[in-house]
Amino acid sequence: MLLTRGKQGWRLAGSRAGAHITRQPYIVKWLILGSLIGVAAGLGAVVFYTTLVLATHFFLGLLAGYRIPTPASEGNAAGSAHYIRPWALPLVVGLGGLISGLLVFTWAPEAEGHGTDAAIDAVHHRPRGIRIRAVIIKVIASAATIGSGGSGGREGPTAQISAGFGSFLARTLDLSPEDGRLAVSVGIGSGIGAIFSAPLGGAVLSADIVYSDDFNYAALLPGLVASVVAYVIFGAFENFKPLFALPAPYVFDKPIQLVWFLILGIVAGLIGTLYAKVFYGTVHLAHRLHISPKLKPAIGGLLVGLMALGLPEMLGTGYGWIQKGLDSQLLSLPLAIVIVLPLARIAATALSIGSGGSGGVFGPGMVIGAFTGMAVWRLLEPIAPGMTHSAAPFVVVGMMACFGSISRAPLAVIIMVAQMTGSIAIIAPALVAVGIAALIVKYFDETIYKAQLHTSADSISGKLRSGLPMLSAIGVAGIMRTPRLILRDTDTVHQAHGLLMESNLPGAPVTDPTGLYAGTISAEELQRMDVMSQAVQASVPDAAKQPGSTGHPEQRQTLNPGDGTEQPDGDVETGNSVSPMGGTEGAGAMTLNRIVDATSPTVQAEATLDMAFDAIQQSELQWVPVLDRDRRVVGTVSVGDIVNGYRKLLQVDTERLERLPRNIIIMEERLAANSSLVGQSIKSLGLPGVAVISIEREGNILFATAMSVLKAQDIIRALVWADVAAGARSIIRGEQ
């Protein structure tokens, strides 16, 4: 059994499973991957929700003697009417910030701030790079921050859990760069959809949240699968009720109300813009403070605790206060307090999360929007004809307009809030408010998620498709190089560093003792670790040291994966030799298995150059290992290799086009199954006067090369000499 062989068995099993899954049709592939991500998202939501409930009970309940209100699906508890130990509240919130800061900045600095933005950044730049450690730290640190009273949302940690699992799948199953991005993106949406009991909203969020001005349709179907599975699992442990409950169904029967919702949209757009500016202004200020980052969240928490002495609505997630607003239980508050609440919540969130604390900004954005809607209703209700008798519709639409606009994901947030409140009828006026709010935020070019790209054209894959379209026509196998050096994870740092220096390489792939790929290592990292290792060895008595082999580069494979330059044939060794295992490690020596980068991107041998270029862009190196389906290193491909391969293709196609006559036409025909051209390469077609320029296969455009093989039902586009067009059509259609 593979799984009984330890880490090596898991690697091989994962690689074989990934190869099997990725060979499946699109629907089957994402039913499998989406379901796996959905299970992780649902269980992750349950784990974090339970952790947060326990943390809130401990910090606010036991230490501070205060109970926060809860929304309808969580019991609709009224919460404490006053503080029993008001002196303890700032200390408790500060303690939660201190715990969060110590955890994050000691073990996982990338868990700082709101997790959704980190997950979006991973989608675009390194979908394999979310560490499991960061996810665990994020869960604990966020529970401490929010549970102690810090203003943060629970969706950020949940999104990072499920996005982290998507990242784990990407590297374990060796998914392509595009599938890896989808896995992380789907993880974000399904995690948020699960924790808010809004599966459709979560699915749309998967496609809506990664770009500020675009929609990733490819993530929609996988997102639906993952979100439904996550929702069912979370609901089975908790409940299937909407998060909030409206006191009465909303009925849109007065068109004049659209004017008042339009005003709400204007205010919500301005408040949302202010939210982003204040939040990131606080982040910038916190980074400039010359104190330990571990202490900054504690200072922010202390200030939030002091604010909460006068405004308890600043504490925790704030969802219970939204429910009170929906139930008109906040009507007794003075108008001045109601107007101040959105601004105070912005400040509390900036201090709690912007100072370096851990938590989401989605939830606080909805609370800010709810308070904004309540304030606008209070101002308009006495003077506006046709105004709603309840503040609830304005509270709901305020949530949609404020956060839908500043998240730059208006469609997803509209659907999500409608599911969270069980109110579909509210969507008509919501479209007016959200639309105007989104235009205002777009005018200021703001977003609460700074990792978003504007459109898919700004992504690495989008730039490749538009700038170098023919990369998808060249296979990696045709241009990859035999690795000049393959290290074993049992090699010591000193041995590996010496080999890289002798070979003049910037890095090398690393395998386990059975030859399975384990990750990559850079010369820079090895140099740093070698200095540390030698310092440790120098402190050990000579009698305790044992000699070990340093290995010899001439025993290795000899093609440089990093510089993309041609190597003499005489430098290439046959076989797949790896570093020797001779000798025992000296005292203080560190082996590569402790520092190898297992998250570094790879590419499959059957992939095309656009996938390879995409993978290189996600890597800190200028090359990536090429693996076979058994996860063994069969080559490397660098930027130089890709450029050379692309240049050769352009040269061949240019020469082929120059030989065509001037009286040519464009022909487009579907290749019949009985055509004699099926199974032939472009080079062997034997059709004088015909230059195939592209092939459309199963909806994908493939730029034709001499080695492209035609298949039945391919749509062939070609430049054809007019005199031979009729004969060429007849052959393609299988008529002769």
pLDDT band with cut points at 50, 70 and 90 for residue 101: very high
C-alpha 283 chain-centroid distance: 21
Residues 6+ away with beta carbon under 8 Å from 382: none
pLDDT band with cut points at 50, 70 and 90 for residue 639: confident
Q: Pick from 414, 473, 382: which is nearest to 268 by CA?
A: 414
Treating both helix axes as pointing N-terminal to C-terminal, what angle do 392-406 and 319-326 enclose, rounded to 10 degrees?
140
For residue 406 the two structure tokens come to 């500043």
Cβ atoms of 463 and 223 within 8 Å: the answer is no
Euclidean distance between CA atoms 449 and 116, whole angstroms: 8
Q: What is the pLDDT of residue 655?
A: 56
Cβ atoms of 490 and 513 within 8 Å: the answer is yes
Q: What is the CA radius of gyration of the chain?
A: 30
% of the chain exceeding 70 in pLDDT: 86
pLDDT above 60 (res 542): no
> What pLDDT, in 10s, does the model give residues 233-267?
999 999 899 999 998 888 888 889 999 999 999 99
Euclidean distance between CA atoms 496 and 486, whole angstroms: 10
Q: What's the mean pLDDT in 464-490? A: 78
Amino acid at the residue 463: K
Q: How far apart are the first and last CA of the chain?
A: 54
% of the chain exceeding 90 in pLDDT: 48
Residue tagged 């009224």 (tokens): 78
Euclidean distance between CA atoms 243 and 439, whole angstroms: 28
Helix (H) or strand (E) holding 570: none
pTM for the whole structure: 0.78
How would you classify residue 214: left for phi > 0, otherwise alpha for psi between -120 and 50, otherwise beta?
beta
% helix / strand / coil in the chain, to the nearest 5? 55, 10, 35
Collapsed DSSP state (helix, strand, coil) of residue 621: coil
Within a 10 A sphere around the Cβ of 24, how many other Cβ atoms?
13
Q: What's the mean pLDDT in 667-695? A: 83
For residue 49 the two structure tokens come to 């929700």
Q: What is the pLDDT of residue 706?
A: 72
> What pLDDT, in 10s, does the model give residues 702-723?
767 777 888 888 888 887 877 7
Cβ atoms of 266 and 439 within 8 Å: the answer is no
Average pLDDT, the chain: 84
pLDDT above 70 (res 587): no
What are the chain's domains?
A: 26-242+253-456 (1.10.3080.10), 472-643 (3.10.580.10), 660-732 (3.30.70.1450)
> What pLDDT, in 10s, does the model give residues 255-306?
899 999 999 999 999 999 999 999 999 999 999 999 999 999 999 999 999 9
Upper half-sphere CA count for residue 53 (Cβ side, 13 Å): 10
Euclidean distance between CA atoms 403 and 349, whole angstroms: 14
Euclidean distance between CA atoms 466 and 481, whole angstroms: 27
